[in-house]
């Protein structure tokens, strides 16, 4: 699939989310603007004015430079002491198929400053949901939609894999989701059919495919860092379990840098979902994890399942192997950043211990813990996504779609400040903190 074709598809998807009903003009005044399209040292503009009309950024100035362009009746937002940055992208999201639950999850993404999601397990109902967001009927982020899963059952033979590619292309999905279990022969047929149909594929690296073939086939993204630990362990290692947590005795850490350089040179992007694996195998006890603020939005039956999973993981894998597994994955993230930075923000939510929206802030923190600067971590969910898609939709720039988040603290100084949300704008619709808090309160399980 050509780069130009990718850019056209992405641009259509990302600009289609603007509601048809016009939104009132909004102006942020005296705000510190964070511009992710610059070098880190020049990323902030103090005392900025940002004007949004009809869901698009129409003016950026300093002080009162835009005063004459602000229309009467515009909503004025005092940005003194606050920071305005592009809304983030969650590049490994899931959307429920139940309509009511889907609306709930979409708002939780937006409430946490996420303006774009990439759905990683599609369903025909998601087209209707995306249309409702586009029309402004419900609040939600821009959605990039995968089709239903390609796996050992649905794409176990070459003919079936190729046929499924054409079916999903015809249905209108934006890309294909790869799950484990696909034999190499079927994957090769899938990749050839996808290239012919000009549709990308992303997700897991099936065991028979392996990291080298995945890079050669130009995976759109490798998610979960799948295949990396297995490649570090080599072909003589036992069969991998849970992304290679059982392979710690076989891993050659000296190969991390070269492996990162090889996949980066192939132009393959990675969506680490690091916090998912740290939730599974990190040192925090399930009792401590239950006290996380976002757990108030999780149903008791579901949280009980998460506790059981965590306890099983703690019992099944030694503390030494768990610590090394987390450490190796963090080293991989840093090595990929150093090799060219083809990293995209994604946490995998809803998922075990990953509450939609809230988990993206924990994912960002895990990147900083891996050695990235706060600017580099934020780039994975903003400028990197634009570079990956060939758009400027995730920047605070003139003519860009107005997906923005207003913060009470500077995230370039402390990545935890991404949680200090004063309000979110999606498609020009301003949602202040009071409304966010009210809606989230209604989403607590009764």
Superfamily grouping for domain 3-86+397-442 = Urease, subunit C, domain 1 (2.30.40.10)
Please answer whether residues 383 and 37 qualify as being in contact, where contact means their C-beta atoms are separated by less than 8 angstroms: yes
Please report, for residues 61, 107, 394, the alpha-carbon distance to residue 10 in angstroms, rounded to integers and kept in the order given: 29, 22, 12
Phi, then psi, of 84 in degrees rounded to 5: -110, 125
Q: What is the pLDDT along the chain (446 residues), one digit of tens a residue?
A: 444 344 434 444 454 444 444 678 999 999 999 999 888 888 899 999 999 999 889 999 987 788 889 999 999 999 999 999 999 999 999 999 999 999 999 999 999 999 999 999 999 999 999 999 999 999 999 999 999 999 999 999 999 999 999 999 999 999 999 999 999 999 999 999 999 999 999 999 999 999 999 999 999 999 999 999 999 999 999 999 999 999 999 999 999 999 999 999 999 999 999 999 999 999 999 999 999 999 999 999 999 999 999 999 999 999 999 999 999 999 999 999 999 999 999 999 999 999 999 999 999 999 999 999 999 999 999 999 999 998 765 565 555 679 999 999 999 999 999 999 999 999 899 999 999 999 999 999 98
Phi, then psi, of 211 in degrees rounded to 5: -65, -40
Locate 111 and state its tokens: 């409430």
**Domain-wise residue ranges, the chain:** 3-86+397-442, 88-389
DSSP bridge pairs for 160: none
Please report, for residues 70, 146, 188, 360, 371, the alpha-carbon distance to residue 350 in angstroms, rounded to integers and kept in the order given: 40, 16, 31, 11, 26
Locate 234 and state its tokens: 């080599």
Q: Between vectors from CA 47 to CA 54 and to CA 417, what angle results, nearest 5°?
A: 85
Rounded Cα distance, 36 and 386, in Å: 11
Rounded Cα distance, 199 and 168, in Å: 9
Three-state secondary structure of the chain: CCHHHHHHHHHHHHHCCCCCCCCCCEEEEEEEEECCCCCHHHCEEEEEEEEEECCEEEEEEECCCCHHHCCCCCEEEECCCCEEEECEEEEEECCCCCHHHHHHHHHHHHHCCEEEEEECCCCCHHHHHHHHHHCCCCCCCEEEEECCCECCCCCCCHHHHHHHHHHHHHHCCCEEEECCCCCHHHHHHHHHHHHHHCCEEEECCCCCCHHHHHHHCCCCEEECCCCHHHHHHCCCCCCCCHHHHHHCCCCCHHHHHHHHHHHHHCCCEEECCHHHHHHHHCCCCHHHHHCCHHHHHCCHHHHHHHHHHHHHHHHHCCHHHHHHHHHHHHHHHHHHHHHCCCECCCCCECECCECCCHHHHHHHHHHHHCCCCHHHHHHCCCHHHHHHHCCCCCCCCCCCECCEEEECCCCCCCHHHHHCEEEEEECCEEEEHHHHHHHHHHCCCC
pTM: predicted TM-score of the whole model, two decimal places = 0.94
Name the nearest CA neighbour of 273 among 210, 202, 217, 211. Answer: 202
Rounded Cα distance, 367 and 334, in Å: 8
Q: How many CB atoms lie within 10 A of CB 239?
A: 8
Topology of the domain covering 88-389: TIM Barrel (3.20.20)
């Amino acid at each position: 699939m050509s780069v130009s074709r990718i850019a056209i598809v992405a641009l259509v998807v990302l600009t289609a989310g603007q509601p048809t009903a016009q939104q009132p003009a909004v102006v942020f005044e005296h705000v510190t603007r964070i511009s992710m399209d610059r070098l880190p040292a020049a990323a902030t503009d103090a005392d900025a004015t940002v004007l949004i009309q009809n869901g698009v950024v129409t003016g950026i100035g300093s002080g009162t430079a835009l005063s004459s362009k602000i229309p009467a009746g515009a909503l004025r937002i005092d940005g003194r002491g606050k920071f305005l940055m592009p809304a983030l992208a969650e590049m490994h999201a899931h959307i429920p198929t139940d309509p009511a639950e889907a609306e709930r999850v979409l708002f939780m993404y937006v409430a946490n400053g996420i303006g774009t999601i990439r759905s990683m397990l599609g369903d025909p109902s998601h087209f209707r949901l995306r249309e409702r967001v586009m029309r402004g009927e419900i609040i939600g982020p821009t959605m990039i939609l995968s089709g239903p899963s390609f796996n050992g059952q649905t794409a176990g033979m070459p003919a079936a894999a190729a046929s499924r590619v054409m079916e999903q292309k015809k249905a209108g999905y934006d890309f294909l989701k790869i799950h484990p279990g696909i034999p190499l022969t079927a994957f090769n047929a899938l990749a050839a059919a996808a290239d012919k149909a000009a549709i990308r594929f992303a997700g897991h690296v099936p065991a028979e495919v392996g990291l080298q073939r995945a890079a050669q086939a130009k995976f759109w993204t490798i998610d979960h860092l799948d295949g990396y630990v297995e490649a570090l362990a080599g072909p003589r290692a036992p069969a991998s379990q849970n992304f290679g947590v059982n392979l710690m005795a076989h891993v050659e850490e000296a190969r991390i840098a070269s492996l990162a350089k090889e996949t980066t040179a192939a132009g393959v992007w990675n969506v680490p979902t690091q916090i998912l694996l740290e939730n599974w195998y990190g040192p925090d006890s399930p009792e401590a994890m239950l006290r996380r603020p976002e757990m108030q939005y999780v149903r008791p039956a579901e949280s009980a399942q998460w506790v059981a999973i965590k306890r099983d993981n703690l019992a099944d894998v030694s503390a030494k192997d768990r610590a090394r597994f987390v450490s190796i994955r963090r080293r991989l993230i840093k090595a990929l950043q150093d090799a060219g930075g083809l990293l995209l923000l994604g946490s995998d939510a809803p998922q075990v211990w990953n509450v939609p929206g809230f988990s993206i802030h924990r994912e960002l923190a895990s990147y900083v813990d891996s050695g990235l600067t706060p600017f580099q971590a934020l780039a994975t969910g903003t400028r990197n996504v634009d570079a990956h898609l060939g758009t400027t939709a995730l920047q605070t720039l003139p003519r860009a779609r107005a997906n923005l988040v207003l913060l009470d603290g500077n995230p370039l100084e402390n990545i935890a400040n991404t949680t200090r949300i004063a309000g979110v704008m999606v498609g020009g619709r301003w949602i202040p903190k009071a409304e966010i808090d009210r809606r989230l309160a209604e989403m607590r399980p009764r």
